Structures are given as C-alpha cells and as structure tokens.
A and B are shown apart, each in its own frame.
Chain A
Amino acid sequence: MKTVGTVLVMSACMLAGFFFASAGELRVRNLRALCLLLSAMRREMMYRQSSLAELIKGACEREEMKKLAFLPVCCELFESGEPFAYAWRTSLEQKGRLCLLNGEDIGLLCAFGDALGTTDCEGQLSLIDDYSEIFSLRSVQARESAGKYGKLCRSLGLLAAAGAAIILI
C-alpha cells in the first residue's frame, strides 16, 4: 500500500512538472497561431476587403488556427446576430484561458476586437500591424520563458518526485 502511494505521489509530482512545462510550449504555439490569424486578416483585408464575418469564418476553417478555441464561439455568436465586439469579447472570456492565453493577452485581444471593423481599410491595416507587433513580441517572450521555465518545471517535477520518494520510503 505504501509503495503504491509513493508511486502515485511521485507520478503526480512528475506529471505536474511536465504539465507546466508543456503549458508554456502550448502557449507559444497558440500565440504563433494568433500571429498567423492577424497576418491572414491583414492579407484578406488588403486584397479582398473581406468583412469580419468572412474573416472569422475563413479563420475557423484553417487547420493551423484550430488551436484558437475561441474562434468558433465568436463565429457562432456573430452569425447569430450579435455585434462583433460582443461576440469576440464573449468568446475570449469563455475560451481564452483554454487557449492558454493569460489575462493580459485576453485584455489586449478584447481591445483589438473593439477596434476591429470600425475604420477604413488603412486604419484596419495599421491596427493589425500594431497588434501583430505586440503579439510577435509576446510570442518571442513566451518562447524564451517556455525554454527557461520548461526545463525548470520538468527538473522541479523530477526533484519533487525524488524528494517525495525519499520522504515516503
């Protein structure tokens, strides 16, 4: 019984370490997907002047953006007749955390959604450029921190497992 308990505690410690390490990597991937979304939006606006409905629907269908779980919710709400800013904000509030976006990311995205579709094409392109830059930077920072803290989390998990084994045995 004691051995089983020890094994379980050790597994839990290791899993926690690996979970926090992979969460950082997932956040990097999601931020990259977000950057891709912004650059796709820019292209669509620049060459086709696509409406937000077309942009969001198109983004939902793209494989590389499937990680962004808030997009289908936003699309659904928008198609049901809700104003875009509300649909965008609500979807982020519901699914933003699931995409491993932190409070600051969500706040930035909400502000972006409030301004999206409210000005002419030039204004929109400049808005997207500004937010692309912000999220590229955040993506770089997240990658660095994932590299740094990922190793630390894994090591801590293993160390905690070993510590628990020593104490329990």
Chain B
Amino acid sequence: MKAFAQAVGFLPENIRAVLMCLPEQTAQRISEVRLRANQPVVLVTGASSSFITISGRFTRIYSDNVMRASPEDIACALGAFCGYSVHSCQQSINRGFITLAGGHRAGLCGTAVSSRDGILSLKDISCLNLRIARQFIGCSKPVFEALGARVLCGVLLCGSPSSGKTTLLRDLVRALSSGEAGEYYKVCVVDERSEIAACSAGVAQMQLGPNTDVLNAYPKSEGILSALRSMSPQLIVCDEVGSMDDVQAIMSGLDSGVSFIAAAHAGSEEELRSRTQIRRLMDTRAFSSIIMLESAACPTRIKRIYTYEEWSGKT
C-alpha cells in the first residue's frame, strides 16, 4: 500500500482521492495507472485492465460511471512527475519516461518534435502510464537455487514487458551484495533508466545491499566502461542490453575478468534467437545461463533456464 500511495501521490488531487479509496488488497495488486486525455483512468493488475468509478469502486466493466482524466489532469500530473522542472527532465521526457522518487516510472506519449538528430522534445502529452515500483525481497532465491555459483558466471534475464526482469535483477544485486551468495560481492549497477536503483537526488531508493555502486543515468556502454576503469567490480549489472555498443562494452568487461548480469526484452525463445544483437551478445560468452521469465501475469516466475551449451547447441 505504501508504494501505491507514494506513486498515486504524484497524480492530481481529484484522481488521487478516488484511488486512495480502493481497498488495500486491490491497491496492492495494481501495477500501472494509465491516464489518457478525456479517457477513463485504467488500472492494470497482472495482465488485465480495469477501471475505477467516481465513487472509488474497482470495476472491470466500462461504463459512463468510470472516472476520466481531463487534459488538465494530464498537465498537472506531468508537472508533478518532473518536479515542476521540465528542464531537468528534458532528456528523459524525450526518451518517453520519467523516473520518480521511490523508483516509480511514468511513461509518456505525445507528439514528437523531431530533427535529423532525433527527438528534440515531446509536446501535447496526452497519455501517461504510471508504473508502480515494488521491491520483492527474496524473489531471486529460485535463481540461486537453480544456478548456485553459476550466477557468478553471467546471467541474462529475458522476458516480455512487465514480466519482472528489473525486479528480479534488483533482488539479484541485493542478494549478491549483501552476502546471500556466500560473499559480499562488489557489484556495479549501470542504471541507464534509473529503474534498478531508482536514484532520487543521488540516493538509491531501493535496497541494493551494502557493497553496490550505482552509475545512475549513464548510457549503458559508457557506464560499463566507467565502472571497469574506476570501480573494480566483480559483477556488473545492467538492464535492457541489446545495442552493438553494449556488446562491445560487455566484451571489454569480459577481458577485465568481470561477470555480467543483464536483462533483455524477449517474449519467447524464438524472439530471443531472432534478435541479432542478442545472438552477438551470447557469442561473447558473457552469460553462462539464460533465464526466460513467465508472462506479466506472474512476474519474476522462471519459465525455463538455458545453459550456454544448451543455447549454442540449438543454434
């Protein structure tokens, strides 16, 4: 309930007041609150979407009675998301999301103002997706039970959106850094999107253990190289790897004897195999195991674990 209350605290008073009427059990299941201009407020639990009535009743049925967000509500929420400081979040806004205090994340949709160099800014923002961050301490236990010491030889977590990749990654960091794997490993988190550590004013909002260094908002490849140069980590952890720059930076890390734990988007094994960058990433032998996660319906649940040999044998 604390995470939910903290996240909805960024929403306009009228919407917040209705959402806070929800029973605790329902509130705890909500992973996303979606606002669209002149459309109903949508609450996501697992893989299904629901609504909330003006009187604060949770319902799966869309009717005239459901609460709607006005364009003013969107503008008000956007102001609160960026601390009324658009200039501080411009890069983040251009990339389509803002990380909030507490690790929550607001996804943004609007009209892109582009140039040849990419997106200059985002205007007429009309859709917001507030993703509520929750830390599940101990959710990485099945990974340690299945892999044991092989966790230290590199792990790639794969799953569809909302399958719990980041949550699992975060708990792996915490466990490795706090001695749950037998040693207080020196872990460096390259947190490009501020999702793993959820740093606010430079302080990690999530529990990452006593031996973790966070390189917040670094581009992944630069963060990996910086960590290698300056922090002498035993493990580097990063989210959503996949670009060629990432592959090259990971190769540099391997040359330095550092292990990697990373996550990548892939809803299925076929999707994973079809992605060229992931194949290149696997060819670096940075990951001795690949963990496929179940869907958004059961976050952080392991579907299957492949060893590198199994993976390479199939290709």
Contacts and interface: CB of A to CB of B under 8 A. Distances in A.
Contact of A117 (B87, B121, B201): B87
A124 B80 CA distance: 18
A85 B201 CA distance: 22
Contacts of B14: none
Nearest to A119: B86
A121 B87 contact: yes
A83 B82 CA distance: 11
A53 interface: yes
Contacts, number: 45
B23 interface: no
Contacts of A120: 86-87, 90, 121
A117 B90 contact: no
Interface string A78-89: 100101110000
A84 B76 CA distance: 11
Contacts of B201: 54
A52 B87 CA distance: 9
Interface in A117-132: 117-121, 123-124
Which of B76, B79, B84 neighbours the largest number of chain A CB atoms within 10 Å of its CB?
A: B84
A117 B80 CA distance: 11
A124 B85 CA distance: 10
Contact of B85 (A53, A81, A123): A53
Given A120-B90, A120-B121, A121-B90, A52 B83 contact: yes
Interface of B: 9, 76, 79-80, 82-88, 90, 121, 201
Given A83-B79, A85-B84, 9 more contacts: A50-B88, A52-B84, A54-B201, A83-B84, A117-B82, A119-B86, A120-B86, A120-B90, A124-B87
